[in-house]
Amino acid sequence: MSTQIRTVGFIGLGIMGGPMAARLVRAGFDVVGHNRSPARQEALVSAGGRGAASPAEAAAEADAVITMLPDSPDVEAVLLGAGGVFAAARPGTLVIDMSTIRPDVAWTVAADGGRRGLRVLDAPVSGGEAGAIDGTLSIMVGGSADDFEAARPLLAAMGQTIVHVGPAGSGQTVKAANQLIVAGTIELVAEAIVFLEASGVPTGPALEVLSGGLAGNRILDRKAAGMVARQFTPGFRAELHDKDLGIVLAAARSAGVIMPVGATVGQLMRSLKSQGLGGLDHTALLRIVEQLSGRPEPE
Ligand code: NAD
């Protein structure tokens, strides 16, 4: 079977998928994109890609199909549904789901695709919109080693750290762990910032010295200044992180693993959503710390 990939179907051209598809165009692939809302599709056409009226149309002539959709039901509908990718794709087509979804759904989808002669990978990403634009995403890939190697030229156009982490579903399990660590770290940085402010210690020098010691981490480096300034424009929406923490906690339950801190952070992220703040960046967890501490938002 040829591993030469020329035509790529790309379904889901949102905050992440739009710039990822544009990078594939710039790398020389013939990209046929489909998105539910047409404006996103027009942006791809302006960038040099082509538009498709449905997932099936995007898949029909593709050597590889990539999906970048919000949640598990969206991926199931687009891949498995009537008029979906699996029914239209030619045998041997690589199908790479880069959305963040449940590991068990990724596994089921891969098994279904395998029965149809398709080569399915789960390849969720970390690195945010900036990483999608710059092509510096971390990509964690589950599936067979051969299919991973076949997909590498595509993934290399979108990411920098690209690792095969295990069989089908493993990419999503690693992504769930990623989201647990990121949410927990944001919560601790938020608690530290509110604590420093309440204690009357200027946050600038405090965060500088913290960054250089064992407490140093990328949330401190990249996000703390925005948190101090109360800039919560997404970025990564709290409602998507709420979805991801639901995935982590369900998968942990299946694995028989207890996550007391993960469960608490899941509740705090859910509180943002239930207060109608799910459209803010996930660093708005700081707002919850302020509320719980009885501290009013700064002017
Ligand atoms: P988004 O909502 O901006 O994009 C999703 C796109 O899919 C939208 O344009 C929507 O119109 C389209 N869509 C939904 N259902 C569709 C369907 N049935 N057919 C065709 N198009 C459909 O979301 P996003 O921020 O790009 O995130 C996509 C995925 O990547 C999510 O799983 C998210 O958790 C994950 N992710 C996001 C980030 C980030 O920083 N935004 C980072 C890493 C991973």
d(CA 201, CA 186): 20
Say what angle helices 218-228 and 203-212 make with each other, to 10 degrees. 170
pLDDT tens digits for range 118-174? 999 999 999 989 899 999 999 999 999 999 999 999 999 999 999 999 999 999 999
pLDDT tens digits for range 105-131? 999 999 999 999 999 999 999 998 989
pLDDT tens digits for range 44-101? 999 999 999 999 999 999 999 999 999 999 999 999 999 899 999 999 999 999 999 9
175 neighbors 274 (Cβ within 8 angstroms): no
Q: Any idea of the CA torsion for 90, 98, 47, 237, to the nearest 10 degrees?
A: 150
Pairing of strands 137-142, 125-126: antiparallel
CA–centroid distance, residue 246 to ligand 1 (Å): 17
d(CA 200, CA 195): 9
How many CA atoms lie within 13 Å of 269's alpha carbon, on the beta-carbon side? Answer: 30
Geometric angle at alpha carbon 291, from 288 and 296, rounded to 5°: 125
How many CA atoms lie within 13 Å of 290's alpha carbon, on the beta-carbon side? Answer: 15
171 neighbors 122 (Cβ within 8 angstroms): yes
Per-residue confidence (pLDDT) for residue 296, from 0 to 100: 79
Residue nearest to atom 31 of ligand 1 (CA): 70
DSSP 199-250: TT--HHHHHHHHHHSTT--HHHHHHHHHHHTT----SSBHHHHHHHHHHHHH
Question: Does residue 155 have its Cβ closer than 6 Å to ligand 1?
Answer: no
Average pLDDT of the residues in 218-227:
96
CA–centroid distance, residue 64 to ligand 1 (Å): 19
**Residue to mutate, 32, 36, 174, 242, ligand 1, most ligand atoms under 8 Å from C-beta:** 36
Nearest to 128 by CA among 33, 19, 249: 19
Per-residue confidence (pLDDT) for residue 87, from 0 to 100: 97
pLDDT tens digits for range 23-48? 999 999 999 999 999 999 999 999 99
d(CA 263, CA 260): 5
Question: Does residue 19 have its Cβ closer than 6 Å to ligand 1?
Answer: no
Q: Long-range pairs for 46-49 at CB < 8 Å and ≥24 separation?
A: 47/21, 47/22, 49/10, 49/21, 49/22, 49/25
pLDDT tens digits for range 262-295? 999 999 999 999 999 999 999 999 999 999 999 9
Residue nearest to atom 30 of ligand 1 (CA): 99
